[in-house]
Amino acid sequence: MQWIERLRDLTRITGITEIARRYFVMNAFDGVLTMLGVIIGAHTSGVLEPRLVIGTGLAATLAMGISGASGAYMTEKAEQTRELKKLESALLVRLDDTRHEDASRFAYVFAALVDGVSPALGALAVLSPIIMANAGLLDIEAAFWASIAVGIAVLVALGLYLAKVSDERLWVYGAQMLVVGVLTVLLCMAIAMVFETPALPA
């Protein structure tokens, strides 16, 4: 198809594919860890109403998405503009309304889209058992542990993907992500317990 060929051409000119891949992994990682923190904090504090956890989780997801998209848009726009000006200086010609300008614009819009969507995907994956609990499909306690399991599984999957990209041993990257996930869970639980509100005397 013509539009697929055009996309391939634009990505080849800018080299945005590798940049977007890094954005995707880093921000999906952030989304998973952030949502684990939200759910563990809520559970340890005694918040057992799924709707409250979902509301907090979705607000955090929205904030991460907006932050990621706007940050990537402005950063990549500046970088792509700089590269375009360097190319214009080398060629001694303006590149307005050319394929290079189109590719530059595509690069920062695509980066913003990836950077905005990836943390939301990671966060929503972790939040999904709580959504199921709100629908009556899971007990809230089971949903809490399922969210932790999903979060760690997503982290391991990201590690395996990085291992494949770098052509390294799968188990090394997978194990590293597993350790990060378990440590995050333990630290979040410890911090939440330290700041847990004591029960009022009867």
| Residue 104, domain member (yes or no) | no
Q: What is the pLDDT of residue 161?
A: 87
| Residue 90, domain member (yes or no) | no
| Residue 48, domain member (yes or no) | yes
Q: What is the pLDDT of residue 200?
A: 45
| Residue 23, domain member (yes or no) | yes
pTM above 0.95, yes or no: no
Instruction: Using a pLDDT cut of 70, give the percent of the chain over it.
Output: 85
Q: How many structural domains is the chain composed of?
A: 1
Bigger pLDDT: 196 vs 141? 141
For 81, counting Cβ atoms within 10 Å of its Cβ (0-12 exposed, 13-18 middle, 19+ buried), the class is middle
| Residue 84, domain member (yes or no) | no
| Residue 54, domain member (yes or no) | yes
pLDDT band at 190 (very low <50, low <70, confident <90, very high): confident
Structural domain containing residue 158: 15-66+116-193
Overall average pLDDT of the 143-162 stretch: 92
Q: What is the pLDDT of residue 90?
A: 75
Assess contact for 60 and 35: CB atoms under 8 A: yes
Cβ neighbours for 181, distance < 8 A, ≥ 6 positions apart: 32, 36, 151, 152, 155, 156
| Residue 161, domain member (yes or no) | yes
DSSP string over the chain: -HHHHHHHHHHHHHTHHHHHHHHHHHHHHHHHHHHHHHHHHHHHTT---HHHHHHHHHHHHHHHHHHHHHHHHHHHHHHHHHHHHHHHHHHTS--TTSHHHHHHHHHHHHHHHHHHHHHHHHHHHHHHHHHHHHTTSS-HHHHHHHHHHHHHHHHHHHHHHHHHHHT--HHHHHHHHHHHHHHHHHHHHHHHHHTPPPPPP-
